[in-house]
Chains A and B, each alone.
Chain A
Amino acid sequence: MNFIIEGFEKTFIREDRYKMFLEGIGNTLMVALFATLIGVFIGALIAIVKTIHKQSNKLKILNAIAEIYTTIIRGTPVVVQLLIMYNIVFVWSDNAVLIGIIGFGINSGAYVAEIIRAGINAVDIGQTEAGRSLGLSQGQTMRSIVLPQAIKNVLPAIGNEFISLLKETSVIGFLGVIDLTKAAERVISRTADVYFPYITIALIYLAFVYILNYFVKKLEKRLAKSDH
């Protein structure tokens, strides 16, 4: 019992260390959220380019770029990508949070692209044909007929992407961002007590994932309902 009280006191109370954990939660959530937004933006662009190329063989150059991008991003570890971003691409900046957001956003984009592409493919080709025969251009058809339905299909999957980013960002301490994991390590570097900090952050991650999962499930149900 003493061990628990003492561990708790030294991990959270002493020197107001709980503030470090709060800062960590803030940074973890912020990086995950903005990275997801960038990921969705890039992913949507890539998915549209690839789909248009497949349907009409246009946008050859953009499609080639998209292919290279997905190959590189999906073929290298995210930590390596982050280190390259931080130490080589953005060597003139030390805004680690922003570089982290961009790095994770670019990484996430490659995966979200596949999600959105699947969403677009799931929209019946008859919808596109109908749009085209009504005189809409290919771009207009994509924008006002296919994409709205595709986005509805993939919203839960994007929620899941946010959830996995929330966990993946735990490596961002590499760049010196005080995220949840780094906060725990900072405390341990003072107390040399590993139990409380690590178990605590595990529980915090778990709690966030559990809550977010609940909302994603709810969203899935809502969206399924309106289909009928």
Chain B
Amino acid sequence: MKKILSLVLALALIICCFAGCGAKKDTLTVYTEAGFAPYEFVYNNEIVGVDIEIVKAVAEKLGKELVVKDVKFDTIVGAVKSGKADIGAAGITINDERKEEVAFSIPYSSTEQYVIVKADNNTIVNLDNLKGIKIGIQNGTTSDFMIDGLIKDNTLAGSTIVPYDAPALAAAALGSKVEAVVTDKLTAQIIVDGSNGAYKTFKLVKADGSDAAEVEEYGICVSKENTELLKTINEVLQGLLDDGSVAKWEKEFNDKAATVTE
């Protein structure tokens, strides 16, 4: 029995060592969900996008090896908080609730909410028309929180949210499981550009034409304890914003994502 017991302990030890391999110090682990073009998406079997370029620059500055992990969007902030990931970069909108959990960089991009519908749909043109229908949304995103809030305060009485892992997955369900998809501006445009004219998109406005939601700003998040890293990220980001790199990448990856999705 002793032999078996020592065998078990040895095995447990080996497993622990192996699992520990993930926790190296010379790497910069970034969590993202690669279904959000142009910020992060899979291109030629690699994760690319604006966010990836930014964290590449950060890793370079720190002299660390970059590791990008493709996980579920709604787990990213939690993983950054628990220290599993060093950085969360996934076009994450800065909001108060997330700020309670993690620290955000300076904003590097802003967006508005857009609606995607089938091209032949002429009944849905503003916020009021979203009442009482099924709306497809990427799980855990600001679109999710916003529409959820509007349903709860009865602005969108009778509507239901159908959650998806990626906006494009939600768009694929247009006309069957959902009647409209709400997502961020650039993402919506890429999906529509790639749909061969099957879908169209427009800015989410109220019936009187005024903005339905505030402009949102994207930030990169790190653990609150990691003030050094946050400082470096802010320095790098400021540089990239000043020399126009971020704007250049937004256009570059927008084109890249749209041309190959056609």
Binding site for B on A (CB under 8 A): 14-17, 19-20, 23, 41, 45, 59, 87, 90-96, 98-99, 102, 139, 174-176, 178, 185-194
Closest residue of A by beta carbon distance from B257: A190
Cα-based distance from A92 to B261 in the complex (angstroms): 37
The 4 closest A-B pairs by CB, nearest first: A189-B35, A189-B166, A176-B71, A95-B22
CB of B79 within 8 Å of the partner chain: yes
The smallest C-beta distance from A201 to any residue of chain B, in angstroms, reads: 15
Q: A19-B45, A176-B31 are in contact. List 10 more A-B contacts (CB 8 A).
A: A15-B44, A87-B79, A92-B22, A95-B18, A95-B19, A98-B18, A98-B22, A186-B70, A190-B261, A191-B168
| Structural contact, A189 and B169, CB atoms closer than 8 A | yes
Task: Tell me how many residues of B have a C-beta within 8 Å of chain A.
Answer: 46
Q: Which stretch of B54-62, B80-88, B148-156, B237-245 is in the interface?
A: B80-88
Q: List 20 A-B contacts (CB under 8 A).
A: A14-B260, A17-B45, A87-B84, A90-B19, A91-B83, A91-B84, A93-B22, A95-B22, A98-B18, A98-B19, A176-B70, A176-B71, A185-B169, A186-B42, A186-B70, A188-B166, A188-B169, A189-B34, A190-B257, A194-B169
CB contacts under 8 Å to A, within B1-31, are 1, 4, 8, 11, 15, 18-23, 29, 31
Binding site for A on B (CB under 8 A): 1, 4, 8, 11, 15, 18-23, 29, 31, 34-35, 37, 41-45, 67, 69-72, 75, 78-79, 82-85, 165-166, 168-169, 171-173, 191, 194-195, 257, 260-261
Closest residue of B by beta carbon distance from A89: B19
Interface centre among B22, B169, B191 (most CB of A within 10 A): B22
Cα-based distance from A176 to B47 in the complex (angstroms): 13
